[in-house]
Amino acid sequence: MTQQQLQHLYWRAGFGIHPNRLKSFSKNRKQIVEALFVNSKSNTPIQLDLSFMEGVTIKKIKDNPEFAKDIRAKSRKKLMDLNYAWINQLAQPKELLREKMTLFWANHFVCKSNNVVYAQQFNNTVRVHALGDFKMFVKAISKEAAMLKYLNGNQNRKAKPNENFARELMELFTLGEGQYSETDIKESARAFTGYNHDFEGNFNFKSKQHDEGPKTFFGKTGNFSGDDIIDSILENKQCAVFISDKICRHFVNPKPNQKHIDAMAEVFYKDYNIEDLMRFVFLSDWFYDESNIGSKIKSPIEYLVGLTNTVPVTFEKERDLIKIQKLLGQTLLDPPNVAGWKGDKAWIDANTIMVRLKLPSVILNNTVIASGEHDEFKKKFMKKHKGKLPFKTIPNWTTFLENFEAVETKDLQDYMLQGTINKGTADYLKTLSKVSKQEYCVQLMSLPEYQMC
């Protein structure tokens, strides 16, 4: 594998790779790819200190409004801690590919919870199944407390079925629009009646609230359970095509090749093994086509984690991590709606591109690269903070220099920019001073091309 192909693989399967690691790789693609899966066999859950919930019961919450208010406030604070913990786990992963897949699936099985116990549990469930059996994954998600609350599954009762989860299960999670009828939604909703959870977040099936009557779904009639409905959905090859399409757009190219999607679906439909599907993608020659390298706009999280992966950074105030996520348009644990973030070109607009081009100098140099009198970043953000920078950081340039020790300053762009550099940028790079490796790094990160991976 070439240097460019290795960097491409590690941007899609992770958040970039340091030059000092590239030297240790063999040329054998199969060995390199297999190592990604071997290193992600295990699973490291996020485990916050949630001792504030010990002894808390639903009765105490209902009987004491002040106590309930305090618990909600503590839960909101802990949700911020969960955000920091997740960012840290992405930036310093023990299982690189599993963490990248967890980030992907969290924007597929979109869910939001104000209860940190449920949110942490959901996040860890996604992590457990991120490279496993998709059928088991969907069934596990259908029983998660966070999802049951988010899509009103815990209100789905025999006497009054709630169709929210049944609809999103097919439209967003498995088949896509136009692959089912309104009758299929109504009938499948009946199959999920009785799904609930206890206060601690454990799944609790309430048989008295479950509709035991016959249901007709996809032309078949029977006393179907929720799991039966999921089995029936996955029997439809459209599910394999729908998921393959989404994975292809995310990991290969936002403008996918239908032949590649069809080939992926053939692999996935055999047994819905996510690991086998991703292995097929990463081993395919077409994955490394030049048209795919640098074709994808980094999500805000990919951008932020990739930047701090290149130059490790300590934020003086952890909450600034959330401030940056909000500025960039993607705050972990806070999706805009059940469809999640659209991605690709939706990540960039007039405001977010301005922020992206300025952030490297703010985060890594504690300054702002000047853009003349019309510098909108200074107008909008410096003014808010009375002329001071909006965040204080401590960049670890020593580690950066160690990781890039073997790279000459003039060649830094070959490791930091993915894909083809246009002539205008190439000419601009020639004019930049290359005396300081740190300064050149910041200047490269401040280019539009750095937004691509």
Which residues are CB-neighbours of 185 under 8 A, at least 6 positions away?
Answer: 163, 166, 167, 170
Of the candidates 20, 21, 22, 91, the residue with the CA atom closest to the CA atom of residue 404 = 20
Looking at residue 202, its pLDDT comes to: 98
205 to 125, 156, 162, 232, 434: CA distances (angstroms):
19, 11, 16, 21, 64
Q: Parallel, antiparallel, or unpaired: how do β-strands 215-217 and 203-205 relate? A: unpaired
Which residues are CB-neighbours of 414 under 8 A, at least 6 positions away?
Answer: 3, 407
Looking at residue 248, its pLDDT comes to: 98
Looking at residue 391, its pLDDT comes to: 84
Q: What pairs with residue 270 in β-bridges? A: none
Looking at residue 390, its pLDDT comes to: 78
Asked if residues 144 and 123 have their Cβ atoms less than 8 Å apart, the reply is no
Q: What pairs with residue 221 in β-bridges? A: 216
d(CA 253, CA 264): 14
Looking at residue 103, its pLDDT comes to: 98
Looking at residue 196, its pLDDT comes to: 98
Asked if residues 90 and 103 have their Cβ atoms less than 8 Å apart, the reply is yes
Looking at residue 381, its pLDDT comes to: 60
Instruction: Evaluate if pTM is beyond 0.85.
Output: yes
Structure tokens at 126: 């996604």
Looking at residue 383, its pLDDT comes to: 59
Tens digits of residue pLDDT in 214-266: 999 999 999 999 999 999 999 999 999 999 999 999 999 999 999 999 999 99
Asked if residues 97 and 131 have their Cβ atoms less than 8 Å apart, the reply is yes
Residues of the chain with pLDDT under 50: 372-374
